[in-house]
Chains A and B, each alone.
Chain A
Amino acid sequence: EIVLTQSPATLSLSPGERATLSCRASQSVSSYLAWYQQKPGQAPRLLISDASNRATGIPARFSGSGSGTDFTLTISSLEPEDFAVYYCQQRTNWPPTFGGGTKVEIK
């Protein structure tokens, strides 16, 4: 099973700042990595698939990069609605696995 490690666990930032979230895989997942946003009491929302492809309706301030074992989600300028928990997920093989999450909180 592929283990995904996200860092940092918590990111304290102010609206308007840039957020950089990291996801590292225990072995190569090629580009088969997605990012999700989850707010309390809500289902996950797909942001990015295949490392860098924004999902339908996702604002351009969200971008993903990386391949192999190291991936980054960047939020270029935080909006109030972006404060949430973010998960990465790989689909290279079964089972799909998620990282432990990064909480982006208001500083």
Chain B
Amino acid sequence: EVQLLESGGGLVQPGGSLRLSCAASGFTFSTYAMSWVRQAPGKGLEWVSAISSSGDRTYYADSVKGRFTISRDNSKNTVYLQMTSLRADDTAVYLCAKSSLGDRCSSSGSCYGDYWGQGTLVTVSS
């Protein structure tokens, strides 16, 4: 059974940093692109970042470019999102998603998500 478990969210002051983790199980993690998607309270979905199966290609939404860094450790079946210079409009539930297309979408970074975690809430407030 595929499982994705996010952690690392919490309350942080504007300008602060957080590192999110997504621990994966139930599939061959090293062969799938992975993504982070966020959902502000009561709002829609925004694709934040994606990473290829090997980690050599990364993609970022303009809203987070230069502030967020996606990475992965295939030996630990975990994908990370390092978030710095956090702003109030970064407040959201952050979900990780497994690509439904293996690594075939890595050339563009644009994938579909066939399995999702339940998310971790990041609140940026003073």
Q: Contact residues of A with B, CB < 8 Å?
A: 32, 34, 36, 42-46, 49, 55-56, 87, 89-101
Contact = CB atoms under 8 A, between A and B. Distances in A.
Given A46-B112, A87-B45, A95 B117 contact: no
Contacts of A98: 44-47
A43 B116 contact: yes
Given A96-B111, A101-B44, 12 more contacts: A34-B112, A45-B116, A55-B114, A90-B110, A91-B108, A94-B50, A94-B59, A95-B61, A98-B45, A98-B46, A98-B47, A100-B44
Interface of B: 44-47, 50, 59, 61-62, 95, 100, 105, 108-114, 116-119
Contacts, number: 63
A94 B109 contact: yes
Dominant secondary structure at the B interface: loop
Contacts of A89: 45, 47, 112
B51 to A, nearest CB: 12
A101 B95 CA distance: 17
